[in-house]
Structure 1
Amino acid sequence: MKKTVSLLLVGYILYALAVTFYIWVGADTSLPADLAGTKADPATFLSNKELMITEEYSKIRNTIYFLTLPVEWIFYFLLLVLGGARAIQGWAEKVSKYKTLQTGIYLFWLTLFSTVIHYPLSYLRYSLSKDYGITVQPFSGWMRDQVVGFWEGILIMWIVVLLLYVLIRKFPKWWWAVAWGCFIPLVFFMMYIQPVVIDPLYNDFIDLQDKQLEAKILELADEADIPADRVYEVNMAKKTNSINAYVTGVGGNSRIVLWDTLLTRLQEEEILFIMAHEMGHYDMNHIVMGITGYIVFSFFAFYLIYLTAGKLIDRFGQRWKINSLNQLSSLPLLLLLVSLLLFLASPVTNAVSRYQEHKADVYAIELTGETEPAIEAFQEITRSSLSEVNPPALVKFFRYTHPPMVDRIAHLERYVKEE
């Protein structure tokens, strides 16, 4: 056991050194020579101080991300090999004889331990963002969001895990297929309640107060044959200086949402381009395609987890004091496998997302007929969030769901020339 833990520690240290070297020394973030002096060149719209701060902030943030990445896997792995997973189950069984309560108790302790382990890194990210002027939320507000997220996560996971283990006990060989079948309506249900139940726990949503702007946004929606009768704004100025807009929900609960910071930092034409971009996602069925892809991926994910978890318990179950997958103590193993699969799939899902974001940019240009507001909007987004214009390849590969700003702005300039 000591050897396993020692190897794990040495491996993590070597990984941390390699990642840090890559981000701070080895990665090439230089701008392509043909883009120097163009509107995609950050030197044309950022001051020297802003350039320095953006580069510094991006490197620190990327380093923290990659150093944090394995922490969850190490936590679940150590719970298994050190017997912690079985010990938590023992505590739950001592408190209650009912499986429902045992599941809730197990999830409480598992989530609490995980939160404590991750808290220093979470606070570091918050503190870093505040030091660089991205976050303006006071510590008390940030902690409130953490507490709300803690209990929200437990409640949702309680329902999911309770159902999962009922299926594992009832259908030992086919639980993965039945669970996948139950997973589909659950995804739609969560997307349906997200705008009206979950999101308001963290922020205040109201109808867009600028009715002239709302009328122009709805006019764009009508041109794109998108059924919409209202636009929402959310109070984010008390939390951040970043700007954003998005579409959320499904069916009757679909919402177009603008951050109030976007309303104060962008001009009207720039806002309309951002809205047209979001409408492009809707009109080109990106949300539907995303859900469909997620459901297809989850089918294979459930099956792989079923096969892998069974083999690992057969081989190491006695050492972990886990006799069967139907024990609650197997939950860290399932969560570990889910996390690893999502990570391994992230380069593909990120690439698909970047492609869809590019198509939405093209859609917005064609809908509005304007490129200059789009360029200025992207430049302001870069400035407000200290976004890295041309990130290292590895960072783009694993982190970027949107094309880097250098690609987006360069495409806009090429579009103008082609016209």
Structure 2
Amino acid sequence: MVRKWAFNAVFAYLLFGVLMYAYLFYLADASVPHSLKGTSVDPSTFMNHRELMLSEEYSKIKNLLFFLSSPYEWLFYFLVLIFGVSRTFEKWAEKTSRFHIIRSAVYLFWLSLASFIVTFPLSYLSHSVSKAYHISTQNFHSWMKDELIDFWVNFALMFIVVTVLYALMKKFKKRWWLAAWILSIPFTIFMMFLQPVVIDPLYNDFYPLKDKQLETKILEMAAKADIPAKHVYEVNMSEKTNSLNAYVTGIGSNSRIVLWDTTLEKLSDKEILFIMAHEMGHYVEKHIYFGIAGYLLLSLVGLWITAKWMEKCMARKNELKVKGISNLSSLPLFFLLTSILLFAASPLTNWVSRYEETRADRYAMEMTHDSASAVKTFQDLTRTGLSEVDPPWLVKIFRYGHPTMRERIERADSSK
């Protein structure tokens, strides 16, 4: 039975991979409509022939890797369950101590290490592709350092979550999901405070914007928008990538507006001001707070569905090599189900994100009154990131938290 389940799971994954390859490389059309040829939306008007070719190749490969990664994770967790690997890790943990907190740490370490090793080839392939197409500038040593930081940061956070979660499962047999959700509220808010000042600096160096004239212009815009900003932060991303980006992170006194140094190097002041106005639009329209509220709502629904799903799976607990929901060996099942739910919910969360990004774009154009710079910014972002202007439908709904460049450029053009 176990071999049959394993064979079917691997076959299903390989079949899915073949179908996605056929869709992305042969069936999907990412070219702009003929009616838009020669307009500002047409990538051939702002990218040369080599850039167009590389963009098409790179986008297809990265999209395929994206669609292969989540099911690969599901396959890993499923095989860990049915082959009894999770139960073996639990036995190792039980031998180390009688204390639940130490058992959780030992079990989670072995599961995290196994996950890291199994998913490493896919992660390295993604990095290699980005390096080959000159999106990533990061050498292997630097990339591996980030991977190890990721491992230990995720381990530390998951140790807290798993220890509390399984303590709740033992205490509240039927309502553990509700107790877990209630405790997740202060934890989520705490992490929003912690992220910009503790976690992000582990990966990169942040410092106040060096160009003080540009910072003055940005702060003047912030003052007009009633944003209590005192600094704009710059981060040294050029050591790792050629891509451009800027973002807002954190809440309250820990909130930050951050510019990548690649953005400062490759865009004009007008384009940078448009990007900053866009980020200010997120702040003014309180998208961070709506995002937290939406995340907590989805978490409530997701935990409830996961709890019900896990109960049904316990009907086959012998095949899954799990004694019960509150046993640590059920953790891969929890991860499997929550990962599937997150993937299934991504079209909805991406749609909400695209709506908020559209609002921020509109706010930026109203603030700057510079649609020409908006168009140029979107074109430069497309070229430097080797992005698709009009991606295939499945790619858009599952990958895009921003509107497509076609949509953004068309809106900017129409506001002139």
TM-score scaled by length of structure 1 = 0.98
For 2:93, the equivalent position in structure 1 comes to 92
Moved runs in structure 1, 4+ residues, more than 3 A? none
The whole-number CA distance in structure 2 between the counterparts of 1:415 and 1:374 is 10
The whole-number CA distance in structure 2 between the counterparts of 1:187 and 1:77 is 28
Structure 1 counterpart of 2:176, which letter?
W
Structure 1 counterpart of 2:223, which letter?
D
Report if the CA contact (8 A) 1:391-1:404 is conserved: yes
For 1:206, the equivalent position in structure 2 comes to 207
For 1:41, the equivalent position in structure 2 comes to 42
Q: Tell me the secondary structure at the aligned position of residue 320 of structure 1.
A: coil
Q: Offset of 1:113 from its aligned partner? A: 0.5
Q: Tell me the secondary structure at the aligned position of residue 248 of structure 2.
A: strand
Report if the CA contact (8 A) 1:350-1:400 is conserved: yes
Q: Offset of 1:325 from its aligned partner? A: 0.9
For 1:370, the equivalent position in structure 2 comes to 370
Q: Tell me the secondary structure at the aligned position of residue 229 of structure 2.
A: coil
Q: Deviations over 1:131-183 (max 9, x none)?
A: 11111111100000001111111111001110111111111111111110000
Gaps of 5+ in 2: none
For 1:385, the equivalent position in structure 2 comes to 385
For 2:298, the equivalent position in structure 1 comes to 297
Report if the CA contact (8 A) 2:347-2:397 is conserved: yes
The whole-number CA distance in structure 2 between the counterparts of 1:254 and 1:16 is 40
The whole-number CA distance in structure 1 between the counterparts of 2:15 and 2:311 is 31
Q: Offset of 1:85 from its aligned partner? A: 1.2
- 1:89-168, aligned counterparts within 5 Å? 89-168=90-169
Q: Offset of 1:79 from its aligned partner? A: 1.1
Structure 2 counterpart of 1:303, which letter?
W
Structure 2 counterpart of 1:413, which letter?
D
Q: Tell me the secondary structure at the aligned position of residue 402 of structure 2.
A: coil
- 1:239-258, aligned counterparts within 5 Å? 239-258=240-259
- 1:160-199, aligned counterparts within 5 Å? 160-199=161-200
Q: Offset of 1:70 from its aligned partner? A: 0.5
Q: Offset of 1:308 from its aligned partner? A: 0.9
Report if the CA contact (8 A) 1:347-1:397 is conserved: yes
Structure 1 counterpart of 2:213, which letter?
Q
For 1:321, the equivalent position in structure 2 comes to 321
Report if the CA contact (8 A) 1:136-1:241 is conserved: yes
For 1:5, the equivalent position in structure 2 comes to 6
Q: Tell me the secondary structure at the aligned position of residue 344 of structure 2.
A: helix
The whole-number CA distance in structure 1 between the counterparts of 2:133 and 2:105 is 39
Structure 1 counterpart of 2:97, which letter?
S
- 1:226-245, aligned counterparts within 5 Å? 226-245=227-246
Report if the CA contact (8 A) 2:278-2:361 is conserved: yes
Report if the CA contact (8 A) 2:13-2:75 is conserved: no
Q: Offset of 1:8 from its aligned partner? A: 1.5
For 1:266, the equivalent position in structure 2 comes to 267
Q: Deviations over 1:360-401 (max 9, x none)?
A: 101000001111111111111111111111111111111011
For 1:26, the equivalent position in structure 2 comes to 27
For 2:310, the equivalent position in structure 1 comes to 309
Structure 2 counterpart of 1:135, which letter?
S
Q: Tell me the secondary structure at the aligned position of residue 247 of structure 1.
A: strand
The whole-number CA distance in structure 2 between the counterparts of 1:289 and 1:67 is 30
Report if the CA contact (8 A) 2:70-2:339 is conserved: no
Report if the CA contact (8 A) 1:86-1:320 is conserved: no
Q: Offset of 1:321 from its aligned partner? A: 3.0
Q: Tell me the secondary structure at the aligned position of residue 200 of structure 1.
A: helix
Structure 2 counterpart of 1:283, which letter?
V
The whole-number CA distance in structure 2 between the counterparts of 1:413 and 1:376 is 10
Q: Tell me the secondary structure at the aligned position of residue 97 of structure 1.
A: coil
Q: Offset of 1:318 from its aligned partner? A: 2.2
TM-score scaled by length of structure 2 = 0.98
Gaps of 5+ in 1: none
Q: Offset of 1:60 from its aligned partner? A: 1.0
Report if the CA contact (8 A) 1:207-1:232 is conserved: yes
Query: Identity of counterpart residues, as a percentage?
Result: 51
The whole-number CA distance in structure 2 between the counterparts of 1:323 and 1:8 is 22
Q: Deviations over 1:245-272 (max 9, x none)?
A: 0000011100000001100100000000
The whole-number CA distance in structure 2 between the counterparts of 1:319 and 1:47 is 56
Report if the CA contact (8 A) 2:10-2:75 is conserved: no
Report if the CA contact (8 A) 1:35-1:410 is conserved: no
Q: Deviations over 1:227-256 (max 9, x none)?
A: 111110001111111110000001110000
The whole-number CA distance in structure 2 between the counterparts of 1:34 and 1:220 is 37
Q: Deviations over 1:17-55 (max 9, x none)?
A: 111000000002121222211111101000011101100
Tell me, yes or no, if structure 1 residue 347 matches structure 2 residue 347: yes
The whole-number CA distance in structure 2 between the counterparts of 1:4 and 1:305 is 22
Q: Offset of 1:274 from its aligned partner? A: 0.1
Q: Deviations over 1:39-97 (max 9, x none)?
A: 11101000011101100111111111112221110111111111111111001111222
Report if the CA contact (8 A) 2:29-2:392 is conserved: yes
The whole-number CA distance in structure 1 between the counterparts of 2:143 and 2:325 is 37
The whole-number CA distance in structure 1 between the counterparts of 2:35 and 2:226 is 39
